[in-house]
Chain A
Amino acid sequence: MTGTGELEAVIGLEIHVQLSTRTKMFCGCELSFGDQPNVHTCPVCLAHPGVLPVPNRKAIEYALLIAAALECEVAPRSIFHRKNYFYPDSPKAYQISQFDIPIAGAGRLGDVRIHRVHLEEDAAKMIHVGESGRIQGSDASLVDFNRGGTPLVEIVTEPDLRSGAQVREWGQLLRATIKQLGVSDVNMEEGSLRCDANVSVRPSGSDRLGTKTEMKNMNSFRFIERGIEAEIARQKEVIASGGKVVQETLHFDPSTSELHSLRSKEEAHDYRYMPEPDLVPIAPTRAMLDAAAGALPELPAGRSRRYREDLAVSDSAALQLSFEVEWAEFFEGVIAHDTEIEPRAAANWVTGEFAAELRKQGDQGLSETRVTPDALGALVKLVGSKRISHASAKDVLAEMVAEGADPLEVVEERGLEQISDSGELEAIVATAIDENPKPAEQVRSGNEKAIGALVGAVMKATQGRADGGEVTRLLRRDLGL
């Protein structure tokens, strides 16, 4: 291989999602976060002799919901396997997972294909006492089995991603999608969503895959983006200098931007997968599949497409609204106020001025604000029909956010209604030209920029109640442009 300029990155993701069921995957213990260690345990999740797993029906339903959202093919009969490895976080010394027949395969989210979706159980949490922070060299290691047995869905993509930025954007879309399904908290810091990335590089346009490295334990999509970019750069450099990429597992330290090798291929486990004899196959009934399809809400990708294509909302506003259901619902409340409201303008008001005003006034959330979608709709309509100017509208909005005021009342009280009488406006424009001869002359002699001072004068005289477009039109006409 030659020059690094001709190399492209190939990235595939493995995402673990902790399901927010009430109980664990194979026993009746409640899920928890932050409780005292080992209080949510029973003989089953502690792997006492003689216990048997009983699958959590809700977890299977949630997995089917995810499969439906990712447009996957659901297996008519999928089976559980035992994945064998000795480690204290795995009380049975095997994890019940799925192997050759996962619950769902072949799907898609946005422009990334899904390879498979499978169900498994989470490991327990280990705490290593001592300076090393790892099991080697620790003074002691403690195991908290509260997390052990939490239902997990693992989503594996095809290697369709090409950059760290794309991974971040797609990852955020996936997270928003799963959040809206209501099947997980998808909190990366608490570990309810975990993302591993397989990264390799190859000559652009090639269909062969290069040697990949696996990047683990990244707890935000920003870090993932940076980690992947760092790893792509590293691999390109290795190849440019005539070296070969070695298959290994890497950890990206966001505080130093350094990559550390965790373990090399030589230590790879033979998991001795075996069909789990204690469980019968998952064979979803027609009713279960229909229920999953029927329970599917409008998801970010589809919602954003609808806003863009049907409502002509701008790309960025559409994306922003569709990632957060409550904002999307607020927006739809705004446009429901009146059919004359332009959705594109309304979306800009919601994601722009309104969101900014909420942040400005004490970082309010949508659930806290006293502004109703209907009231904001009324305001947007006032602007759209040119009854008030954009500048006045911002003042009204500030009062609405502060006091929960009704926009019509504020406009009336403060007399903010735009001057609609063209005779009155023409007179004010003429006065402004008379009182500002210098800029007027500059405009007449071809310096169009000087018109700003005249517009400002009109606005000052009208206290912002004039339509800026109309003012400019009159000024240009009177100055002979």
Chain B
Amino acid sequence: MADRDLLRATAAETASLIADGQVSATECLDAWLARVGEDDLNGYLWKADAAAAGQTVDRAAADPVAGVPVAVKDIFCTAGVPTTAGSRILDGYLPPYTATAVSRLAAAGVPMLGKTNMDEFAMGSSNENSAFGPVLNPWDHGRVPGGSSGGSAAVVAGGLAPWALGTDTGGSIRQPAALCGIVGLKPTYGAISRYGMIAFASSLDQCGPLTRDVTDAALMLSRLEGRDEMDSTSVGIEGGVDPPSATDLKGLRFGIPADLIGEGMEEGVREVFDQTAATIERLGGSIESIKLPHSDHGISAYYVLAPAEASTNLSRYDGVRYGIRESNADLDSMYEETRGEGFGPEVKRRIMLGTYALSSGYYEAYYGRAQRVRTMIVRDFTAAFEQVDFVITPTSPTVAFGLGEKTADPWSMYLNDLYTVPMSLAGIPAISIPAGTAEPAGGGPGLPVGFQIAAPAFSEQSLLEAAFALEGAIGFNQAPPGAKR
């Protein structure tokens, strides 16, 4: 069969092609590795070579997904394979072990295509904070792919990988999926082991799939979820995850948090959102207005809690044991110069913010108060889910913005996570599916708009069913112009 057909296929379709013998796992991997070699988006920081990745294919398990290769965000530790988390401080670092999520995919016979670019330590919404240069949005190379899993989103959207692994702390899977026109799922906190995922904000970090469709997201999630004895906060999803099959939304109630959405939303994004809400009703679902009264404080609380956790998580990068060391003069110089040279400006900003928030005398006013806001947001969702089955919002208030457009103003960048952060604080699952395209604020060709659906904790199956039914009705099948898919 032609490579072109293979590169157009979803992961599930590729798995069928391999199962039917139309293509061998090795041919599939070779075709994808050749494509990875053509990366023009700066999406990959490390690319597998055929010999190394092929070993995984040869001893592939009986798993139906065996042989469908995956792109892995560079935040996952991979034994003997460079892992930087987008930071210069880990330049040259070769982990001695492999993250559980990556091991689970490998155990299913899924070879790794490469490691994808990202915002440094997952801090960012545009992928412009990578120490290794920004990732370009395959829809418009002058625009950002979103972040922090910008590389993973861009390579899937741009036909450089069939599917990818990303991580989400405040929207880092969902927002880039939306800006690149693909599916991104952040599972419930605790559904998947965090072992080997380089920590940004431990109480919020969760990994998940970035895929071309909802079926692929379910397929990957089913391989990733589960309790891991290396992560005492992991629990898995009871009953596992099956491929979704729903075709309607009869009897399901969808809540729109009126007090959350509105602010700063682009007109085109609103139109696509309204159309999608109408599609839900056409499929038999109902739309209700709900209240999430504390969600508008979500960003403020998030930008205290996440930097606070980050400030301690990133303290280990001290030049003593691994990564770069900039000075041997004395202890203080080693710390100061290694961290001064190794970290980029956004990471430093958040370390300082977080250090301040945890300082004695300020802890209660900042960290303590932010924790209470978080508790209230959790309660808001609990109350909302007594009224509705799902909460829906646009994934991002804007379509992909221009490179450099928001870098000077961190707060406007942070606001891009306005709709995704509350779900992260509540620890609940949320998915972004492409719902259409809209003209950017300054005019130009249409860019993808994401639609976010959130569900109660550990109800991934019903979330995927709803997303699957909606995806079928929306029929979004556009690829970026010029992408080989």
Listed in ascending order, the chain A residues whose CB lies under 8 Å from chain B are: 43, 46-55, 82, 84, 86, 88, 91-94, 135, 141, 143, 270, 272-274, 277-280
B316 — which chain A residues lie within 8 A by C-beta? 47, 49, 91-93
CB of B232 within 8 A of CB of A277, answer no
CB of A49 within 8 A of CB of B367, answer no
Given A84-B312, A277-B309: A50 and B318 interface contact (C-beta under 8 Å) = no
Residue in contact with A91 in the complex, picked from B230, B321, B358, CB distance below 8 Å: B321
Q: Could you tell me which residues of chain B, from 19 to 60, have a CB within 8 Å of some CB in chain A?
A: none
CB of A52 within 8 A of CB of B230, answer yes
CB of A52 within 8 A of CB of B194, answer yes
B176-202 contact mask (Cβ, 8 Å, vs A): 1 or 0? 000000000000000000111111011
5 A-B pairs (CB sep. < 8 Å): A43-B96, A49-B77, A49-B83, A55-B232, A280-B232
B386 — which chain A residues lie within 8 A by C-beta? none
Distance between Cα atoms of A9 and B315 in the complex (Å): 41
Distance between Cα atoms of A126 and B481 in the complex (Å): 59
B15 — which chain A residues lie within 8 A by C-beta? none
CB-nearest residue of chain A relative to B203?
A277
Given A143-B320, A279-B233: A50 and B197 interface contact (C-beta under 8 Å) = yes
Distance from A52 Cβ to chain B, minimum over Cβ atoms (Å): 5
CB-nearest residue of chain B relative to A272?
B358
B96 — which chain A residues lie within 8 A by C-beta? 43, 48
Distance between Cα atoms of A88 and B318 in the complex (Å): 8
Q: Could you tell me which residues of chain B, from 392 to 431, have a CB within 8 Å of some CB in chain A?
A: none
Interface residues of chain A: helix, strand, loop or mixed (majority): loop
B231 — which chain A residues lie within 8 A by C-beta? 52, 54, 278
A277 — which chain B residues lie within 8 A by C-beta? 201-203, 233, 309
Distance from B301 Cβ to chain A, minimum over Cβ atoms (Å): 15
Distance between Cα atoms of A453 and B319 in the complex (Å): 84
Distance from A242 Cβ to chain B, minimum over Cβ atoms (Å): 33
Residue in contact with A274 in the complex, picked from B195, B312, B322, CB distance below 8 Å: B312
Interface residues of chain B: helix, strand, loop or mixed (majority): loop
Distance between Cα atoms of A93 and B321 in the complex (Å): 12
Is B335 an interface position by the 8 A CB rule? yes
CB-nearest residue of chain A relative to B317?
A49
Is B359 an interface position by the 8 A CB rule? yes
Distance between Cα atoms of A459 and B229 in the complex (Å): 77
**Which range contains the number of B residues in contact with the other chain?**
35 or more
B75 — which chain A residues lie within 8 A by C-beta? 50
B194 — which chain A residues lie within 8 A by C-beta? 50, 52
CB-nearest residue of chain A relative to B328?
A140
Q: Could you tell me which residues of chain B, from 301 to 349, have a CB within 8 Å of some CB in chain A?
A: 308-309, 311-312, 315-318, 320-322, 331, 335
Is B76 an interface position by the 8 A CB rule? yes
Distance between Cα atoms of A86 and B312 in the complex (Å): 10
Q: Could you tell me which residues of chain B, from 185 to 237, have a CB within 8 Å of some CB in chain A?
A: 194-199, 201-203, 229-233
CB-nearest residue of chain A relative to B356?
A272
Is B95 an interface position by the 8 A CB rule? yes
Is B99 an interface position by the 8 A CB rule? yes
Distance between Cα atoms of A52 and B232 in the complex (Å): 8
B317 — which chain A residues lie within 8 A by C-beta? 49
CB of A86 within 8 A of CB of B315, answer yes
CB of A50 within 8 A of CB of B335, answer no
CB of B315 within 8 A of CB of A48, answer no
Is B90 an interface position by the 8 A CB rule? yes
Distance between Cα atoms of A24 and B311 in the complex (Å): 25
Distance from A278 Cβ to chain B, minimum over Cβ atoms (Å): 5
A93 — which chain B residues lie within 8 A by C-beta? 312, 315-316, 318
Distance from B333 Cβ to chain A, minimum over Cβ atoms (Å): 13
Listed in ascending order, the chain B residues whose CB lies under 8 Å from chain A are: 75-77, 83, 85, 90, 93, 95-97, 99, 194-199, 201-203, 229-233, 308-309, 311-312, 315-318, 320-322, 331, 335, 355, 358-360, 363, 367
Distance from A96 Cβ to chain B, minimum over Cβ atoms (Å): 11
Distance from A90 Cβ to chain B, minimum over Cβ atoms (Å): 9
Distance between Cα atoms of A46 and B93 in the complex (Å): 14
Given A43-B95, A143-B320: A50 and B358 interface contact (C-beta under 8 Å) = no
Distance from A435 Cβ to chain B, minimum over Cβ atoms (Å): 88
Distance from B379 Cβ to chain A, minimum over Cβ atoms (Å): 19
Distance from B211 Cβ to chain A, minimum over Cβ atoms (Å): 23
B99 — which chain A residues lie within 8 A by C-beta? 50
Residue in contact with A270 in the complex, picked from B90, B315, B359, CB distance below 8 Å: B359
Distance from B200 Cβ to chain A, minimum over Cβ atoms (Å): 11
Residue in contact with B85 in the complex, picked from A49, A143, A278, A279, CB distance below 8 Å: A49
Known contacts A43-B95, A50-B199, A272-B355; can you find 19 more A-B pairs with CB under 8 A? A43-B97, A48-B77, A48-B96, A48-B321, A48-B322, A49-B93, A49-B316, A50-B99, A50-B196, A52-B231, A86-B335, A88-B320, A88-B331, A91-B316, A92-B316, A93-B315, A270-B360, A272-B359, A280-B233
CB of B358 within 8 A of CB of A86, answer no
B93 — which chain A residues lie within 8 A by C-beta? 49
CB of A274 within 8 A of CB of B318, answer no
Distance between Cα atoms of A272 and B315 in the complex (Å): 12
Distance from B15 Cβ to chain A, minimum over Cβ atoms (Å): 29
Distance between Cα atoms of A47 and B77 in the complex (Å): 13
B331 — which chain A residues lie within 8 A by C-beta? 88, 135, 141
B201 — which chain A residues lie within 8 A by C-beta? 277
Given A51-B195, A272-B355: A279 and B321 interface contact (C-beta under 8 Å) = no
Given A135-B331, A278-B233: A50 and B315 interface contact (C-beta under 8 Å) = no
Distance between Cα atoms of A82 and B316 in the complex (Å): 13
- Give 7 nearest A-B pairs by CB, closest first: A93-B315, A277-B203, A272-B358, A277-B202, A49-B198, A50-B196, A50-B77
Distance from A41 Cβ to chain B, minimum over Cβ atoms (Å): 10
CB of B309 within 8 A of CB of A49, answer no
B308 — which chain A residues lie within 8 A by C-beta? 274
B360 — which chain A residues lie within 8 A by C-beta? 270, 272
B311 — which chain A residues lie within 8 A by C-beta? 272
CB-nearest residue of chain B relative to A94?
B312
Most B Cβ at <10 Å: residue of A82, A91, A277: A277
CB-nearest residue of chain A relative to B202?
A277
CB of A50 within 8 A of CB of B76, answer yes
Distance between Cα atoms of A426 and B461 in the complex (Å): 105
Distance from A97 Cβ to chain B, minimum over Cβ atoms (Å): 13
A143 — which chain B residues lie within 8 A by C-beta? 320
Distance between Cα atoms of A272 and B309 in the complex (Å): 11
Distance from A16 Cβ to chain B, minimum over Cβ atoms (Å): 23
CB of B196 within 8 A of CB of A51, answer yes
CB-nearest residue of chain B relative to A88?
B320
A47 — which chain B residues lie within 8 A by C-beta? 316, 321
Distance between Cα atoms of A270 and B196 in the complex (Å): 29
Distance between Cα atoms of A94 and B358 in the complex (Å): 13
Distance between Cα atoms of A94 and B197 in the complex (Å): 19
CB of B315 within 8 A of CB of A94, answer yes
Distance between Cα atoms of A135 and B333 in the complex (Å): 13
CB of A82 within 8 A of CB of B312, answer yes
CB-nearest residue of chain B relative to A137?
B330
Distance between Cα atoms of A82 and B318 in the complex (Å): 17
Distance between Cα atoms of A91 and B197 in the complex (Å): 18
CB-nearest residue of chain A relative to B355?
A272
A278 — which chain B residues lie within 8 A by C-beta? 199, 202, 231-233
Given A48-B97, A54-B230: A274 and B358 interface contact (C-beta under 8 Å) = yes
B321 — which chain A residues lie within 8 A by C-beta? 46-48, 91
Residue in contact with B195 in the complex, picked from A46, A52, A82, A272, CB distance below 8 Å: A52
B358 — which chain A residues lie within 8 A by C-beta? 84, 272-274
